[in-house]
Amino acid sequence: MRMAPPTSPRSSTRSPRTAPFAAFAPVALTPRARVFVLTGAGISAESGIRTFRDANGLWEQHRFEDVASPEGWNADAALVWRFYAERRAQAVACQPNPAHRELADLERTLGARLFLCTQNVDDLHEKAGHGRVVHMHGELMKSRCESCSRAPFDDVEPYAAVPRCECGARIRPHIVWFGEEPFAMDRIQQALDACDVFVTIGSSGAVYPAAGFVRAVRARVSGDGKPATTLYVGPEEPDNAAMFDECRLGLAGDAVPGLFTT
């Protein structure tokens, strides 16, 4: 993943409708509508997960180069493990909020017609009852071998020292670090190509490639020849606000319940 490029999507001449979420009517989903939902740090922050960019956030204590990059891992793997052990310990106690639960209900209604992609590495969507979540940036509660083909595995151990795989290589957090390729990009692209409604919830629009998803959706039409609907939900406009039809301002826990009618 990478941060926003020098040329920002705000250079577009689009003027989204921006207002508090209560000013908008629910989005009526047709019986065949396919919905792509991208969730970011904002939805998890409402459940108590510390984010990287807020005041007193994770970057206040650590440079991302030290704890979230291949270079940092190679320079001080023990520091990296301590950092993620602290994140695991903090995330275990956090519970889903109404936005997570509403999206889980939507999955039960739409089934495979809902594609939920998250930039978050916590397991709050799963705790809410989701059965099919794409974690494009990895999963905090999993680890993997840095070398062999062993599959990623569930892991909540704090580790006093850097663990080793049976093959002898180091075990690392199952996290996509800066400079690495996000997971499941082929599946994500297929879902972007097929969706009728695209929704971003609580993402700043500053981290790519996720921040570019809405632009990709706006560049095409849906299967019935109509432009796909693009919505943003969050407390403030994201960096890529100009790409959305509507920016519904408010906390996800307040705005997501009632976002759709089916």
- Which amino acids are annotated catalytic? 137
Report the C-alpha gap between 145 and 153 in whole angstroms.
Answer: 9
DSSP state of 238: -
Q: Which whole-number Å values give the CA distances from 94 to 45, 55, 184, in the listed order?
A: 10, 19, 26
45: phi then psi, degrees, rounded to nearest 5: -60, -35
DSSP string, 154-205: E-----SS--B-TTSSBEEEEEPPTTSPPTTHHHHHHHHHH-SEEEEES--S
Report the C-alpha gap between 198 and 169 in whole angstroms.
Answer: 41
Torsion-angle region of 186 (φ positive above 0: left; ψ -120 to 50: alpha; else: beta): alpha
Number of residues assigned to the chain: 262
